[in-house]
Structure 1
Amino acid sequence: MAPRPLPIILAATCVGLQGLGILGLTIWTAVQFFSFGQAQLPMSVQIAMLVIYLIFAGLYFLVAISMFRGKGWTRSAAVAIEMIVLILAFSFFSVNNPLATTLGVAMLLSGVVVIGSLFTQQAARFLGKDRQGGRAAA
Structure 2
Amino acid sequence: MSDVTEQNYQPQNTVIEAAFSALIIKMSKDMNFLGIFLIIGGALSCLFIIYAVVGIPAIFAGIRLRESAEAFKNYTYNNDPLYLHQAIEKQSRYFFIYKVLAIVYLVLIAIAILIFIIVILAGSTAIINNY
Give the TM-score category using the shorter length.
0.3 to 0.5
The structure with more helix, counted as a fraction of residues: 2
Rg larger in structure: 2
Point out which structure has higher relative CO (alpha carbons under 8 A, 6+ apart): 1
Give the alignment's TM-score, normalised by structure 1.
0.37
